[in-house]
Amino acid sequence: MAGVHPFDTYLLDRDEDSDIRVAEAALLFARDRYPGLEPAPYLRRLDALAERVGRLGASSPEDRAAALRQVLVEEEGFEGNRRRYYDPANSYLNAVLDRKLGIPISLSAVWLDVAHQIGWPFAGVGLPGHFVIGVSDGSADLWVDPFGGGRALGRAACEKLVARAIGRSRKLPDEAFETVPNRLVLTRMLNNLRLLYLERGHWHDAACAIEGLLAIHPDSDELRQDLRTARVRHAGLN
């Protein structure tokens, strides 16, 4: 791709991880799949959702989780795409917002953006095999599963969720519940696309996802090798 990608420019312009709006960055990397995509209308849609959630006046972590669930699940109908979990559209935020379907990481990105616009301290948590959001200010042991209809989870429920995801029970250490920085949320979204496209032999789309990952992790030799492979394979098809 010629020139500097808008996603790369966005990241370069933000020194602090907290300055990154994950939704905006995700919409920028979605331009590779959806040429001409403009983030602004989608960001306004997220802002409007946040305004509706904020008007509910929730203050405790539990009430805030319930307010997010009321607007995003009960009123708007966001849900996990269980029928077509491996559809690449589940990892592009514009498609998630249009279809109201996604996978754990992309639905969590929606919930987090709405929460952050009204100053609520939720953050992503990358449990083994499943992504959730949790209260990030230490005020409560509360996690929420956007893919599972926004149900609130305690620690034991998180362990059961992980057991179903990975096929075996395990006690989760404290570090499994550590919050994920914004760049790693984007990494996880892009890596899902990278793996899907490499597996299917969609070399151009794979190269676009890998280029996005390299904007976040420019020193990764593994990503550079994957990019070379994807470009060579794509060239061989044309």
pLDDT tens for each residue of 72-127: 999 999 999 999 999 999 999 999 999 999 999 999 999 999 999 999 999 999 99
Backbone angles phi, psi at 131, to 5 degrees: -110, 130
Q: What angle do CA 199, 205, 207 make, to 5 degrees?
A: 90
Q: Do 130 and 62 contact (CB within 8 A), yes or no?
A: no
Is pLDDT at 225 greater than 90 in this prediction? Answer: yes
Count of residues in the chain: 238
Q: How far apart are CA 193 and CA 206, in angstroms?
A: 7
Token readout for 210 is 């890998």
Q: How far apart are CA 224 and CA 220, in angstroms?
A: 6
Q: What is the rounded (10 degree) CA torsion for 93, 97, 101, 107?
A: 60
Q: Look up residue 222 and give its amino acid.
A: E
Predicted local distance difference test score (pLDDT) of residue 2: 52
**Beta-carbon neighbour count of residue 174 at 10 Å?**
7
For residues 17-39, give the mean pLDDT.
97
Is pLDDT at 56 greater than 50 in this prediction? Answer: yes
For residues 32-39, give the mean pLDDT.
96
Please tell me the pTM assigned to this model.
0.95
Whole-angstrom CA distances from 64 to 95, 104, 123 are 26, 19, 13
Is pLDDT at 143 greater than 50 in this prediction? Answer: yes
Query: Among residues of the chain, what percentage have pLDDT more than 90?
Result: 92
Q: How far apart are CA 208 and CA 214, in angstroms?
A: 10
Mean pLDDT of the chain: 95
Beta strand 101-102 with 79-80: parallel, antiparallel or unpaired? parallel
Is pLDDT at 1 greater than 60 in this prediction? Answer: no
Predicted local distance difference test score (pLDDT) of residue 140: 79
Predicted local distance difference test score (pLDDT) of residue 139: 78
Q: How far apart are CA 50 and CA 210, in angstroms?
A: 31
For 179, residues 6+ apart whose C-beta sits below 8 A from its C-beta are 123, 124, 125, 134, 136
Q: Is 151 left (phi over 0), alpha (psi -120 to 50) or beta?
A: beta
Predicted local distance difference test score (pLDDT) of residue 212: 97
Residue 172 DSSP class: P
For residues 22-31, give the mean pLDDT.
98
Q: Which of 134-143, 154-163, 171-180 has the lowest mean pLDDT?
A: 134-143
Q: How confident is the model at residue 236 (pLDDT cuts 50, 70, 90)?
A: confident
For 41, residues 6+ apart whose C-beta sits below 8 A from its C-beta are none
Q: Let me know if 28 is exposed, middle or buried by CB neighbors in 10 A (0-12, 13-18, 19+).
A: buried
For residues 132-148, give the mean pLDDT.
91
